[in-house]
């Protein structure tokens, strides 16, 4: 007589099910954080736009009355054309100079190994970590002593302090992604340093240069504190 025993497999939660649940939770948290960030941006921009049409707005959800007279007043009190020309001039000149200064520094950091490289990189990025007002006041004082207070040149110099490290920070990873063996092969074929840079390195890092240039331009537009400190000092 043969007896058979039935075995019942215990229903267990598979590893893949737990992984799927984790992926779902991670996806929800990720997109939730992005949505929260976007909503904050929309709320801030909407507040500024609505406030520009409000006669007064303090404690209510929406302004009690709307008006458009702030915009004609702005145009009447300020030469908007000249302000826009000056703004674009400062932003473009600052961006170009920052790229010219930042590229050699980023190339050095990406290609060379030397003592205290980490310390040097940290010091280069220090203006990005310090609030602008901390170094803005002594920087404005230095610009005044140079006789550049209230001038476009002084504003450009002031904006180069935070923008140049920012460009270095962006360019360094792009240069690190370029295979050094490409440069070595070009040199072994008898191509000079400048031609190697122009024909090999530059085409590969153009996306990085464009990204750094656009972000530097935006950062210069947004650098209100430094611009205000230097532009309102005058030469006295």
Task: Identify the residue with better confidence: 136 or 36.
Answer: 36
| pLDDT value of residue 91 | 92
User: Range with the lowest mean pLDDT among 25-39, 47-61, 194-208?
Assistant: 47-61
Q: Say if CB 65 and CB 55 are below 8 A apart.
A: yes
Domain ranges of the chain: 16-77, 78-231
pLDDT digits (tens, 9 = 90+) for 104-148: 999 888 888 888 888 888 888 888 888 888 888 888 888 888 888
User: How does residue 186 score in pLDDT terms, banded at 50, 70 and 90?
Assistant: confident
In the numeric block, the tokens 């058979």 are attached to: 4
Task: Read off the pLDDT of each residue in 163-192 and give the average, rounded to a whole number.
Answer: 87
Cα separation, 93 vs 99, whole angstroms: 10
User: Is there a contact between 208 and 174 (Cβ–Cβ < 8 Å)?
Assistant: yes
- Per the model's pLDDT, the better-predicted residue between 11 and 169 turns out to be 169
Contact predicate 172/161, CB 8 Å: no
User: In terms of Cα–Cα distance, which of 220, 107, 227, 221 is closest to 155?
Assistant: 227
The full DSSP string for 3-30 is ------------HHHHHHHHHHHHHHHH
Residue 7, pLDDT score: 54
The 3-state DSSP class for residue 66 equals: strand
Residue of higher predicted confidence among 58 and 98: 98
Structure tokens at 127: 């203006």
What are the φ/ψ torsions at residue 66 (nearest 5 degrees)?
-110, 155
Q: Are 229 and 158 in contact (CB under 8 A)?
A: yes
The full DSSP string for 122-157 is HHHTHHHHS-HHHHHHHHHHHHHHTT-TTSHHHHHH
Return the pLDDT at 236.
46
Q: pLDDT grade, residue 235 (50/70/90)?
A: very low
What fold does the segment set 78-231 form as a domain? Answer: MetI-like fold (1.10.3720)
Asked if 208 contacts 171 with a C-beta cutoff of 8 angstroms, the reply is yes
CA 143 to chain centre: 25
């Amino acid at each position: 007589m043969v007896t058979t025993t039935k075995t019942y497999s215990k229903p267990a939660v598979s590893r893949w099910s737990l992984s799927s649940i984790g992926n779902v939770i991670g996806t929800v948290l990720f997109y939730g954080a992005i949505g929260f960030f976007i909503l904050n941006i929309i709320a801030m921009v909407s507040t500024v736009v609505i406030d520009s049409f409000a006669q007064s707005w303090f404690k209510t959800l929406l302004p009690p009355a709307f008006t458009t007279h702030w915009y004609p007043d702005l145009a009447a009190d300020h030469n908007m054309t000249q302000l826009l020309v000056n703004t674009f001039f400062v932003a473009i000149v600052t961006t170009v100079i920052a790229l010219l200064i930042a590229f050699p520094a980023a190339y050095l950091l990406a290609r060379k190994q030397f003592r205290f490289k980490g310390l040097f990189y940290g010091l280069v990025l220090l203006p990005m970590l310090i609030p602008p007002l901390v170094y803005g006041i002594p920087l404005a004082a230095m610009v005044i002593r140079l006789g550049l207070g209230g001038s476009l040149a002084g504003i450009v110099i002031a904006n180069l302090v935070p923008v140049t490290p920012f460009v270095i920070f962006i360019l360094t990873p792009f240069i690190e992604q370029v295979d050094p063996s490409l440069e070595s092969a070009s040199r072994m074929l008898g191509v000079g340093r400048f031609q190697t840079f122009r024909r090999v390195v530059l085409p590969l890092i153009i996306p990085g240069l464009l990204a750094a240039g656009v972000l530097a331009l935006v950062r210069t537009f947004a650098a209100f504190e430094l611009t205000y400190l230097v532009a309102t000092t005058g030469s006295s």
